[in-house]
Structure 1
Amino acid sequence: MNTKRRESAFASDAHSVVVGPDADPEMLQFGSPKIRHKVWFAHITAATRAWAQRYLGFPAGNLVLNRWLQGKMGARSIERAGLPRHSLEAFLGARSLTLHIDPRSLIRNVEFLPRKVEKRPSSMAFIWDGPWDLRRDDLRIGTRYRFINDIHENRHQPERGEHFQELMAYIERGQPWSSPRQGILLDTPEKVKAYLGVYVSYLDDMAARGYVASRTRDDVGVAISREGRILKINRGLHRLAMAQHVGLHRIPVRVRAVHRIWWNEVTRGVSGLAALERMCAALRDCVAEQDPGPFDIEAAVSLPQDFWPTARVGQGQSSSKA
């Protein structure tokens, strides 16, 4: 959130709408003073996290990364710890870690178990150990793609759609759906229809203009498996589902992590800057994983060859322009 927007949010009185820290302009119409306290808490949480990263995380990460780059004492331990991700991303720059792929090829998502069941890799590290890449789910039958397909098929009669009925069920139970980070509350049928309509407009805009990277807050995140395959992780699932649905030819994805086994293989015998150069070169040969994982919780589903709808774009191109 920029300074003016943050100031306007904090200037609100007790009966006005508070803009969420991650609010999109199109979603401001769904704000409500009923959730202002939750939105304030979201602001405090976001501001605290940003402060800690800027004044603690980045400086410490830069010191550690520079020590590793220079091969100083402790460099091996730093690499074993996974390398500080944010500092490494800043050092390499976005272009080095960005791949352009067919969105319909990216169909496997890392399925993390609950933290109490299995320790997850640290989001602060760039190199991840463990079996995280062996448990996957199929994005074609996931909730985000079903949502996008549902709102498209029912765009003229949204009340017939599965997700309209789900959101209405929340209202009927007296617990309307809300997102404090977005600062929105869907507590009336009119709001639910309008909310789904916003996503339809996003979908149509992508079909008309392609993927405009500058309109998003963050990139579609991916990780590289032990076999050098691309797997989806964290944010950007709705955007990916839209790109798949309209049939864009290519979209940019940002590599957020790589598996230790793959890292060791492509950087064998070198460290520091030479290792990063080898890794960045090897990323260009990575392709999206198509197969289910050996540790998948649910059995693989057989889908027809013509599963994807007819593409709605001629030359849908990714772009970094507004």
Structure 2
Amino acid sequence: MRQPHLGFGPDTALRCPKVGRTVPLPAFRACALRRKTTHFPCNDTEICGRNESRRPGAASACEGTMIGAIPFPFTLLHVDPHRLERYVDEPHQNWYLWSAQHLPRFLHRNAVVRVKYLLGRKGVFGGNWDLESRLLPELPSYRLVEDLHRVLPDFRKSLWYARGLEALDRGRPFVHKTLTARTVPELDRIFVENLVALIETMKKDGYRQVQGADLPGGMIGRDGALLKGNRGRHRLAAAQVTGASGLYPIEVTGVHRLWLAGRQRRNGESRNAMLVREFAQVEKRYSGS
């Protein structure tokens, strides 16, 4: 059975925002490491143009988008997408979204975003956030993908497309991630080249993680359940409604405090070794291997 990807290996690829592309580790190396480390000298001047040491807590020269600032190393599990059943918001998501809508922009960016980062960097959360999870088919994003799949090949009959037309009629753009449509031809292009293509490719080739795309996120609840997180919801919905084959990658961005407290180290076992073993059990449960 494949070991969960815990930590950094020579096959790890990270996105460097300075150069705007994905580069392999060790080319990325120390400047992508977590902030909870001691000094890590960065010698990757050919990639980042920087050469520096960082104190714990200091901002890094680069931040790999695949790196979660959590008290255990970067963890990537490969699971059967059809075994995932529930979705959960990040523990601080509700007040974060409220602040984005109601507080002045400078206050949200300069204060709330930093507070959310500081609260989330530990990666271990108490509270009842895991008990507030929802079934995936209840998500609006899931229903849009499901409806689009149902009406294909005529995507113009979908609820998603109708919402796009409604936005354009009101003088607002239709936005999907980094894509924006301000006219009907642009809206058609987004559907044909991206949304419909996602479903058709999923049906034909199964799930494939696109090079450079962000990794889907997930969290582990108090009972060890793997709960889908924010990133990759449309991709997971497309995989499920099309019955796609292939394994679905999930970056573990947090765990419940009670789950972590219930893990037991074996004699002479390091903390990381214990986590490798426990995450392997979660992966086995959700991959069927």
Regarding TM over 0.5, the answer is: yes
1:102 touches 1:248 (CA, 8 Å); kept in 2? no
2:219 touches 2:252 (CA, 8 Å); kept in 1? yes
1:151 touches 1:161 (CA, 8 Å); kept in 2? yes
Task: Summarize the Cα distance change of 1:230–1:115 in structure 2 as closer, same or farther, 3 Å threshold.
Answer: same
Mapping of residues 1-322 of structure 1, within 5 Å: 58=33, 60-63=35-38, 85-86=68-69, 92=73, 97-111=75-89, 114-115=94-95, 122-178=119-175, 182=178, 184-198=179-193, 199-249=195-245, 250-267=247-264, 274-286=270-282
Deviation at 1:279, TM superposition (A): 1.9
Q: Deviations over 1:248-284 (max 9, x none)?
A: 343222222111111111146999x712211221122
Task: Summarize the Cα distance change of 1:4–1:205 in structure 2 as closer, same or farther, 3 Å threshold.
Answer: farther
Aligned residue identity for 1:242: A
Q: Secondary structure at the match of 1:114?
A: helix
User: CA RMSD for the aligned pairs?
Assistant: 3.8
Q: Deviations over 1:291-315 (max 9, x none)?
A: xxxxxxxxxxxxxxxxxxxxxxxxx
Task: Summarize the Cα distance change of 1:214–1:88 in structure 2 as closer, same or farther, 3 Å threshold.
Answer: farther
Deviation at 1:241, TM superposition (A): 0.9
1:110 touches 1:133 (CA, 8 Å); kept in 2? yes
Alpha-carbon distance in structure 2 between the residues aligned to 1:288 and 1:233: 19
Deviation at 1:232, TM superposition (A): 0.9
| Higher Cα radius of gyration | 1
Q: Deviations over 1:57-81 (max 9, x none)?
A: 957421299xxxxxxxxxxxxxxxx
1:73 aligned residue: none
Q: Secondary structure at the match of 1:261?
A: helix
Can you give the 5+ residue segments of structure 1 that lack an aligned partner in the other structure? 7-20, 22-53, 66-83, 291-322
Task: Summarize the Cα distance change of 1:222–1:2 in structure 2 as closer, same or farther, 3 Å threshold.
Answer: closer
Alpha-carbon distance in structure 2 between the residues aligned to 1:2 and 1:58: 12
Q: TM-score, normalised by structure 1?
A: 0.57
Higher helix share: 1
Deviation at 1:85, TM superposition (A): 4.2
Q: Secondary structure at the match of 1:240?
A: helix
Task: Summarize the Cα distance change of 1:5–1:201 in structure 2 as closer, same or farther, 3 Å threshold.
Answer: farther
Q: Deviations over 1:195-244 (max 9, x none)?
A: 11221112221222222224352222111111111111120111111111
Q: Secondary structure at the match of 1:211?
A: coil
Deviation at 1:178, TM superposition (A): 3.2
Can you give the 5+ residue segments of structure 2 that lack an aligned partner in the other structure? 1-14, 22-29, 41-66, 99-114
